[in-house]
C-alpha cells in the first residue's frame, strides 16, 4: 500500500509542481447508507361494479351537435384571426410608408428621401412579398 501511495504522490514529468501552500485532500467524514428497502407489494384490485348511467339519446345527440358547431366556430375564428393578423401588419406597413412619403415630399430633403427608400426596402417590400406568398 505504501508503494502505491509513493507512486501517486510523485508528479508526472509534464505537470506543474504543487505549490507549497496547498495540502493534499483528506477524507473528513464517511457516512454509510444502507440499501433502499424493497418496494411494498401492489395493492389488490378492488372489483366493485358501478351502474353506468347513459343520457337519453336525444340529449346526447343535441349536445354533440352543439359541441360540433362550437368547435367549428372556434376553428373559423382562428383562421380568420390568422388571416387578419397578416393583413393588419401589411396595412400598418403600407400606412407607415404612405405617411413617411407625405412627410418626405413636404420639404424635399435628400435625407428624408433616403429614409423613405430604406423603410420601403427593409419593411414594406418584404412584408408585401410575404403576404403574397401565403
Residue pLDDT, tens place only, 17-48: 666 677 777 878 888 877 888 888 887 776 66
Number of domains in the chain: 1
The verdict on residue 77 lying in a domain is no
Cα separation, 128 vs 86, whole angstroms: 10
With respect to residue 32, please indicate whether it lies within any of the assigned structural domains. Answer: no
Share of the chain above pLDDT 70, in %: 76
DSSP designation for 20: T
Instruction: Over range 107-113, report the average pLDDT.
Output: 87
Give the residue carrying C-alpha cell 401565403: 134
pLDDT over 70 at 132, yes or no = yes
Tell whether the model's pLDDT for residue 12 goes beyond 70: no
12: in domain? no
Q: Could you tell me if residue 63 is inside a domain?
A: no
Residue 6 above 60 pLDDT? no
How many Cβ atoms are within 10 Å of 116's Cβ, its own excluded? 18
Q: Which long-range contacts (CB under 8 A, 24 or more apart) does 81-85 make?
A: none
103 falls within a domain: yes
C-alpha–C-alpha distance, residues 9 and 12, integer Å: 9
User: What pTM was computed for the model?
Assistant: 0.41
Decide if 25 is inside a domain. Answer: no
Q: What range does the domain containing 109 cover?
A: 87-134
Amino acid at each position: 500500500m505504501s508503494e502505491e501511495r509513493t507512486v501517486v504522490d510523485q508528479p508526472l514529468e509534464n505537470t506543474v509542481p504543487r505549490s507549497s501552500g496547498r495540502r493534499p485532500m483528506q477524507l473528513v467524514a464517511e457516512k454509510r447508507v444502507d440499501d433502499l428497502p424493497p418496494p411494498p407489494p401492489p395493492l389488490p384490485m378492488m372489483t366493485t361494479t358501478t351502474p353506468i348511467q347513459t343520457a337519453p339519446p336525444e340529449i346526447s345527440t343535441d349536445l354533440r351537435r352543439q359541441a360540433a358547431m362550437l368547435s367549428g366556430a372556434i376553428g373559423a375564428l382562428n383562421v380568420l384571426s390568422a388571416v387578419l393578423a397578416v393583413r393588419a401588419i401589411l396595412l400598418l406597413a403600407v400606412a407607415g410608408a404612405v405617411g413617411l412619403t407625405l412627410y418626405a415630399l413636404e420639404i424635399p430633403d435628400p435625407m428624408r428621401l433616403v429614409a423613405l427608400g430604406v423603410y420601403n426596402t427593409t419593411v414594406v417590400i418584404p412584408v408585401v412579398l410575404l403576404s403574397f406568398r401565403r
